[in-house]
Amino acid sequence: MSDAPEVKPPVVTPVRVVIALCLVAPFVAMLWVGSYAKIDPTFIGIPFFYWYQMLWVLISTALTMIAYKLWQRDQRARGTQGGGAAQ
């Protein structure tokens, strides 16, 4: 027998689904070009095409931060249960 640690399959929890959605949403929004490939409505003289993308920079930052904080909380919870590594 070997002393290799037992490899467990990944655990899918509601928190991890929310994390995944937070990380995937900006990609979906930016890859769906047809939804924002237009000029109107303009915002302070900037066509929709440009300000929509710049807005997603801010939204992506917020969603990534939320995902990171949820991941930290999830890892701490798994560490206290003895089932996972606490980082």
Query: Tell me, what's the pLDDT at 73?
Result: 93
Which domain does 73 fall in, by range? 14-78
Q: How many domains does the chain have?
A: 1
Its pTM stands at 0.76
pLDDT category at 86 given cuts 50, 70, 90 is very low
- How far CA 56 is from CA of 1, 41, 62, 64, in Å, comes to 52, 16, 10, 12
> DSSP readout, the chain?
---PPPPPPPPP-HHHHHHHHHHHHHHHHHH-GGGT-S-PSPBTTB-HHHHHHHHHHHHHHHHHHHHHHHHHHHHHHHHHTTSS---
pLDDT digits (tens, 9 = 90+) for 14-48: 999 999 999 999 999 999 999 899 999 989 999 99
Would you say residue 24 lies in a domain?
yes
Classify residue 6: in a domain, yes or no: no
